[in-house]
Structures are given as structure tokens and as C-alpha cells.
Amino acid sequence: MAKQYQFPKDFWWGAATSGPQSEGRFHKAHRNLFDYWYDHEPGAFWAGVGPDVASNFYNDFRQDIALMKQAGLNSVRTSIQWSRLIKGLETGEPDEDGVRFYNEVIDEFLRQGIRPIMNLHHFDLPYALYEKYGGWTNKKVAVLFADFAETCFALFGDRVKEWTTFNEPMVVAEGEYLYRFHYPLQVDGKKAVQCIYNLNLASAMAIERFRQSACEKQGGRIGIVINLTPAYPRSDAAEDLAAAAFAETFKNKAFLDPAVKGVFPPKLVEILRKDGVLWESTPEELDLIQRNTVDFLGVNYYQPFRAQAQTAFDDSEGWLPEKYFAPYEMPGRRMNPYRGWEIYPQAIYDIAINIRDNYGNIPWYVSENGMGVEGEEKFRQANGMIADDYRIDFIKEHLAWLHRGIAEGSNCFGYHLWTPIDCWSWSNAYKNRYGLIALNLANQQKTLKKSAYWFRDLAAHNGFTE
């Protein structure tokens, strides 16, 4: 018998992208870290494809937004690039073309009946601030970020009602200072820990500026987008449970707790202090973090993390969180072979219940979820459309578990797929495609995939039948 999955009234059915992954580098005031890395090491990027053009959103945004409307999206998250909007990184002087561009983008979203959600940092720190200050390891950058945020609120807060400070801030610390997948490609646990603290501080500073602006009076609210990878233990053995508990604390709670509760997890602070790698903080900063928590939460979910007890930690590169856990490959797990990620839809239910029970049932939405597939051209039909049934099935499975979480009282108000249009994905460039809308890199033509038509029906009916 068919089962119907109906979602709450006014549910967000949308998709997420970012400025650096969609716009291209046209007329930007500054380079960001990825621009710099590509300029100096293009061979580090898949097929040598960099961010110069991306999906050409800078030039095509009106047509692109029309395609998003055709795909049924009622909301879209993208980002305002610090490196595009601000000409004077120290003075805060806006760039004239950057202001024009984002004004026109916001107005076009609204004209098409799509709610714009604007994020302020998506891995795109201006390179000049890394060169001068060491990037997110320096609190001066947190202050300059808050200045940038304040400018955004003043320029666009009359129309943008939902803001987020950071997208996946843990990935900044992991990529830059733990696992070498973002520039500057360092392994330095102490820097990573300070980076985690400074990003939390920067988010709270931006929220404080938001509270001081006119945005709240204009009906605005502010949140943060965190990638949650629920940690599951290999077994019920005490050592595996302890490993999973620390992985959960480090990977998820290091941003979730300060954002929602205003405090860092005491267990995390205790261990980092014991190991001599605790961040530098002041009572005033900790008070600012405590006073400036989020109004809502965005959750990016792609895969779980499975942990087991650490038995052979290599400390040759200094302190790393893996001192307390090791990854575990569960036999028989379902995999996305293109991305190397486990597919485990049930975790989205576990996230929903965790937020309900342990984070005050704060309003939240799925801000990213999706499936990247290499070589999607092989699924192109005679009529020219890519038949990505695997993506439809992936979405259905995750929505079924999300629906259960909502039915059991979790305060979720939306679901955003990554991504509306196939976008440039950092050093992976266009290797894996995620979009509802296909991008032909050779001629920049964009066409709706089968999943886009399915998603349009999903949004129109505010649910689906399985």
C-alpha cells in the first residue's frame, strides 16, 4: 500500500549553492584562498578546472534563477563573497560592482518568488587576510568578518530575511589545518583548535552586529550552517563508545553547542586543556559567545562517521583528534562509489531527534543533502535529459526519515538539496555532479534533469507518495 509523506505548511523546498562555486571570478575585488591556490597550482584541481568561470552565475543569474523556479524551488541559499563585496578589506569600503551584483541577484530571486537565504562565508576567505594575518588563526580576522557582516546587513537586510554566518566552519579547520584538502594545506592541531574557537567567535560577533542592526525589526533572523556527521560506535564495548563520544564532541558539538547553547562542551575543553592545545580565549569573548546564539540552525548532512577505539595513534605530526578515535569501515555499508561516502539516510532522523531532545528543539532545516555522481552524461536519454533516478531515490529515502523525525516533534522547517545547478566543487571541480540542473561546461548550457521535474512535483504537493 502506498504511503504518503506530507510535510508542514510553508515548508522550504529548495537548494543551496555558494558564491565561489557558482559566480566565477568576474570583476572580483580580491582573490580568495581557492583563487590563489588555483593560480599557483592548477594541477591540484580535477582536470585543471578552476573557479574562473564556475557555472557563470555572475553573467547568467537571471536565466539561472528562472531555471530554479522551473525546478519548483521556493527558497535558495547562496553566499555573499567577502572578496567580491568589500574593496577595502581593512576599511570596509564596499566595491561598487559587488553591491550592484548582489542587489540585482536578491531582487531577481524575490521577483521570481524565491526566498533568498544569504550565507556570509563559504570557505572563501580573502587571500590578503591570510597573507597578512594568518587567516582564521588570528582574531583580527574575526573582527574584520564582523565588519563585513554588518555591511551586508545594512545593504541587503531590508530584503533578505534569513542570514547564516558560516557554512561548515569545521571544514575550514579540518581542510586547512588537519587533513590538507584546503589551502594552506597544513597539519597543525593547535592551529586547528584555535581556528575552531576563532570561527565560533566570529560567528557570535556577526550575530551581535545583526542584533544591533535594523534586521530584526525588519523581520530578519540569523543562524549558522553546520555539517553534522553523527558518530556511531563500532560496538557497545566501552572503548568504542568512548571513541564515538569524543568524535561526536569534536566533529559536531564544537560548533553546535556554542551556536545553540552559547558554551563549548566541557569535556572538549577538559581534554584540549589536558593535552596543552586549548585555544586562547578571554572571559569577555566567552561572554560574547554565550550572549549571541542563533535563531535557527542549518544542517548539512551527507554521511555518518563510524568510530572505533584508537590502537595505533601516530603522533609524528603532533596533536590530532584521532588520538582519541579511529575511523571504522562497517562491513556491508552502502556507498556512493563516486564520492566514497556511506549512504545512511537514517542518520537524518537521528539528527532530528538529537536537536529536539538536546538543543531546545530549535527551529532548523536541512541546508544541504545530496548525491554527487561522476560521468552523468552516460545517463542522458535520447531526448537530451539526464535520467538521474538515483538522485530521486536518494532524496526520497532521506525525506522519509526526515518526515518521521518531524512527525515525532522535531522542529524542522525545510529541505535544501545540494545543489540547484551543477557547480564547481573546490579541488574536485566538476568531477561529481550534484545539481537538479545540468551544466554543459563546453558551452555553459543548462538543462533540467529528471530530478528537477520530480522536485517540482514534490514542492507543488508539499510531499510525495511512495
Computed over its alpha carbons, how large is the radius of gyration of the chain? 21
Q: Which three cell numbers stand for residue 430?
A: 566538476
How many residues are recorded in the chain? 466
Give me the DSSP letters along 87-130.
Answer: S-TTT-PBPHHHHHHHHHHHHHHHHTT-EEEEES-SS--BHHHH
Selection from 133, 112, 249, 266 nearest residue 202 by Cα: 133
CB neighbour list of residue 292: distance below 8 Å, 6 or more residues apart: 204, 205, 207, 208, 211, 262
What is the C-alpha to C-alpha distance for residues 268 and 247, in angstroms, rounded to an integer? 10
Characterize 99-126 residue by residue with b for buried, 16 or more Cβ atoms within 10 angstroms of its Cβ, and e for exposed.
Answer: bebbeebbebbeeeebbbbbbbbbbbbb
Do β-strands 326-327 and 305-308 pair in parallel, antiparallel, or remain unpaired?
A: antiparallel
Do β-strands 12-16 and 75-79 pair in parallel, antiparallel, or remain unpaired?
A: parallel
Give me the DSSP letters along 56-84.
Answer: -HHHHHHHHHHHHHHTT-SEEEEE--HHH
Burial grade of 200 (CB within 10 A; 0-12, 13-18, 19 or more): buried
CB neighbour list of residue 78: distance below 8 Å, 6 or more residues apart: 16, 17, 18, 19, 22, 105, 116, 117, 118, 119
Q: Nearest 10 degrees: CA dihedral of 145, 146, 147, 149?
A: 90
Catalogue the active-site residues. Answer: 168, 368
| Helices and strands (DSSP H and E) totals, the chain | 16, 19
H or E stretch covering 164: strand 162-167
Selection from 258, 99, 72, 67 nearest residue 170 by Cα: 258
The angle subtended at Cα 282 by Cα 280 and Cα 285, nearest 5°, is 110
> What's the distance, Cα to Cα, between the start and end of the chain in Å?
9
